[in-house]
Amino acid sequence: MKPVVCKFGGSSLADGTNILKVCEILRSDPARKYAVVSAPGKRYSGDTKVTDLLYECYREAKEKGSCAGTFAKIRTRFQSIVDELGMSSFNIGAILDETEKQIDEKKSADFTASRGEYLNARVIAAKLGWTFVDAKDIIFFKKDGTFDEEKSYPSIAARLKECDEAVIPGFYGTDAEGNIKTFSRGGSDISGSIVARAVNADLYENWTDVSGFLACDPRIVNSPERIEVISFKELRELSYMGANVLHADSIFPVRKGDIPIKIKNTFRPQDPGTLILPSKKYGAPGNTVTGIAGKKDFTVIFLEKSMMNGEIGFARKVLSILENHKICFEHMPSGIDTLSLVIESRYLNGGLLEELLSEIRDAVHPDYVRVLENIALVATVGHGMASSIGTSARLFKALSEAGINVRMIDQGSSELNIIVGIDNDDYEKCVRAIYHEFFADKKN
Ligand code: ADP
Ligand code: ASP
Ligand code: MG
């Protein structure tokens, strides 16, 4: 029997009561042999995630030489988890003492942040009676900071073969110098996917606090429709564009291994969830748009120059300016004589925007330059859009009826995704308008 790898997010592991539910889920199916766990998340709105407390510990240790002030909160959280789990013989105190000492000594942001997953995995493994396998011994990064699959996969497979069942902390591994390194925030999803690929899992189950991937952010539309089946490509577009139920990079390892993902709700395990497949029947009737996602706070630099299309090296010169400043661009829609750069505004603080504009003017002498700030991007995604006549017309009509001014349009060459740029203030209204057009009245 091929194993199922289960990843549980912080929202599923926030306290002892929830951890008991997780243990029940793991024990209810013998195929669920490997669990990848996050740090405890928020217990209620307004609460602080353990990972955020740990970043605070790092700052405190750096500034004051000791993280004792904030670490006391982490101590209380883990102590109460262990109490709720009735694990009186488990000496969490000693593990916490050692962790606090290491945080003060190492003064490493990544090491400190990783301790939420480490501590939680130690507790959950002990509660289940499963083997604790430290991610630092099986997940590795290369010198350039990227994931080292050649070293990691054989080492994960060999180590887990020795265990009937195991709990592995998510979010971190070891870098080329032997230090702890984390993935970006939300990275336990990536760890789960890596483990699933390494053991050639039958399925990668990602357990969270919603009953699947929803057609849009449930914080914007009340109870949006659940997506039953979605392709890896659609998921990548949606999660990259802000549907943060799954980290956008978590798709790559399982995609290579052709392993499906299932999003499940820890608090409603009976719900069917969302199945994410390497491919699905494209353009089936009644399935034009699969989902909608978006992000705020972009800046668009619009350049116009007559005969730009004939000027060899125009785009390269502009892009090399961004490269010199180590700035990524998100999109680059272009026309015959126009080129726009869409960049996350956070890269352009502290006068950098003005610097970039002046370098661009000197390098390519555009006829006209315009900057749009406070722009949100909203992506409407679905394989079915390519074969459904009039999808764009419906989308733009819905936006115009909602009184939304579209500042930029970018339809990728994949025909999978139409992105509109709108004012930040119109973001929620825009998501709702598109959702209601394609879902609410079942016209999709
Ligand atoms: P976890 O703690 O399990 O890693 P996350 O908080 O990272 O969970 O992701 C789950 C959350 O993602 C949900 O609670 C929901 O608010 C949010 N979310 C945003 N967009 C979507 C979407 N399209 N479908 C489902 N959830 C979404
Ligand atoms: N605990 C980490 C975070 O909050 C990683 C994760 O939960 O996936 O970002
Ligand atoms: Mg998450």
For 396-409, write each residue's pLDDT tens digit.
999 999 999 999 88
Can you tell me which atom of ligand 1 is nearest the CA of 206? 3
Q: How far is CA 15 from the centre of its chain?
A: 23
For residue 280, pLDDT beyond 60: no
The answer to whether the CB of 345 falls within 8 A of the CB of 254 is no
> What is the per-residue pLDDT for 310?
81
The answer to whether the CB of 123 falls within 8 A of the CB of 87 is yes
**What's the number of domains the chain is made of?**
2
Query: Which CATH number belongs to the domain containing residue 181 in this structure?
Result: 3.40.1160.10
Kindly identify the ligand whose nearest atom is closest to the C-alpha of 214: 1
Query: Which CATH number belongs to the domain containing residue 308 in this structure?
Result: 3.30.2130.10
- From 209, 241, 262, the end of a domain falls on 209
- The alpha carbons of the chain give a radius of gyration, in whole angstroms, of 24
* Assigned domain for 110 exists: yes
- How close is the Cα of 50 to the center of ligand 2, in Å? 9
When pLDDT is averaged across residues 83-111 and rounded to a whole number, the result is 97
Say yes or no: 297 and 194 in one domain. no
> What is the per-residue pLDDT for 307?
87
Helix (H, G, I), strand (E, B) or coil at 376: strand
Grade residue 38 by pLDDT with cuts at 50, 70 and 90: very high
Say yes or no: 420 and 304 in one domain. yes
Q: How far is the CA of 362 from the CAs of 340, 355, 358, in angstroms?
A: 17, 11, 6
> What is the per-residue pLDDT for 331?
87
Structure tokens at 114: 């990783």
Say yes or no: 199 and 295 in one domain. no
CA angle centred on 424, ends 420 and 425, rounded to 5° = 115
For residue 414, pLDDT beyond 90: no
* Assigned domain for 239 exists: no
Q: Who's near 315: CB < 8 A, 6+ residues apart?
A: 332, 334, 339
What's the rounded Cα separation, in Å, for the pair 299 and 302? Answer: 10
> What is the per-residue pLDDT for 398?
95
Say yes or no: 200 and 305 in one domain. no
Q: What is the pLDDT of residues 306-339, one digit of tens each?
A: 988 888 899 999 999 999 999 999 888 888 899 9
Q: State whether the beta carbon of 384 lies less than 6 angstroms from ligand 1.
A: no
Q: State whether the beta carbon of 326 lies less than 6 angstroms from ligand 1.
A: no
C-alpha distance across the termini of the chain, in Å: 39
Say yes or no: 28 and 147 in one domain. yes
- From 194, 209, 224, the end of a domain falls on 209
The answer to whether the CB of 157 falls within 8 A of the CB of 140 is no
When pLDDT is averaged across residues 424-430 and rounded to a whole number, the result is 97
Per DSSP, helices labelled H in 300-351 are 314-324
Which residues share a beta bridge with 168? 36
Can you tell me which atom of ligand 2 is nearest the CA of 39? 1
Q: State whether the beta carbon of 86 lies less than 6 angstroms from ligand 1.
A: no
Dihedrals phi, psi of 302, to nearest 5 degrees: -105, 125
For residue 281, pLDDT beyond 90: no
* % of the chain surpassing 70 pLDDT: 97
- 37: domain range? 4-209
Mean pLDDT score of the chain: 93
> What is the per-residue pLDDT for 283?
42
Per DSSP, helices labelled H in 65-145 are 68-84, 92-106, 109-128
- From 209, 243, 275, the end of a domain falls on 209
- How close is the Cα of 9 to the center of ligand 3, in Å? 6
What's the rounded Cα separation, in Å, for the pair 342 and 420? Answer: 11
- How close is the Cα of 211 to the center of ligand 1, in Å? 10
Q: What is the pLDDT of residues 222-244, one digit of tens each?
A: 999 999 999 999 998 999 898 98
Q: Who's near 360: CB < 8 A, 6+ residues apart?
A: 301, 303, 318, 321, 366, 369
Structure tokens at 262: 């299932």
The answer to whether the CB of 302 falls within 8 A of the CB of 370 is yes
Grade residue 284 by pLDDT with cuts at 50, 70 and 90: very low
* % of the chain surpassing 90 pLDDT: 86
For residue 425, pLDDT beyond 70: yes
What's the rounded Cα separation, in Å, for the pair 315 and 163? Answer: 53
* Assigned domain for 393 exists: yes
